[in-house]
Structure 1
Amino acid sequence: MARGITHSCAHIWRHIARAGGWWSLLRVSREWEGVFSMDEIAEHLATLKRGGFLASMEYVREGTVYAYTPQCRQLPGETLVAVTSDCQEAAKQIPTPKREVMTGTYVPPSMPTARLGALDHTRHPSLLQGKRSYRSTAA
């Protein structure tokens, strides 16, 4: 292999290129669990990125993700067609983060308008729930 790309790097590159999509280090290490350690995979991904064989992007949640895009170089002897779009198109497809809902004060939505007379019962206290004194006739 050219430029320090080992057979291990080539296997990981083929896996990412054939599967398509953006792959994080954790996702790749799950696929190659028992074959390569996470440190080895991180080193191979960095080597492939440096050589121009993979593209990378940074995300807050996933960290660095890698993909084989049309701008990437192919390994010698490979004829794979890139199925993943480039970085700019992928960034447009990722949804914007949702607003933070765990902080602040909860304000319930306003109650819908009820029909006329539907809430009359709230103005008259109940005799059985202790809102008005109730006296039984039994002594």
Structure 2
Amino acid sequence: MQLKINSKIFLRLAILLGIIGSFIGAYYWWNFHIPDFWMPNERENLLKNLYRETSYRQYEMAYLLLFFVPSCLGIIGAVFKKAHFLYLAFLLSLPVGEYIGFKAHSINFVHFPLYFYLASAILFSMIKKQK
């Protein structure tokens, strides 16, 4: 026996979850990445500044790839109703969510975009299978 779902309600819910998850992911990118950019430079030790800038660029690329790109994929997947974009956003966000959740002891809050991406993708998949 197949479960019948009201596809209009679940479609709206899936779109809403995907967009909310994307906005939360973009907020985390802004929150964890942008304030570090405006830190004042320490002028006393040139080698220390060079090392800090090099390591900062590595973190910048990691946060860009693992927060901002999944947010964009989540919005695209939600607007165009494509579950595979949302699954990809979930998989891309997973490493940084685990790292920051472990590092900052904020496991519940950092994982919210992941939950929203996955729930939206599953709802889109269920709607597609029912049609």
Give the TM-score, by structure 2 length. Answer: 0.26
Larger radius of gyration: 1
Q: Which has the higher contact order (CA 8 A, sep 6+)?
A: 2
- Determine which structure has the larger helix proportion and give its number: 2
Give the TM-score, by structure 1 length. Answer: 0.25
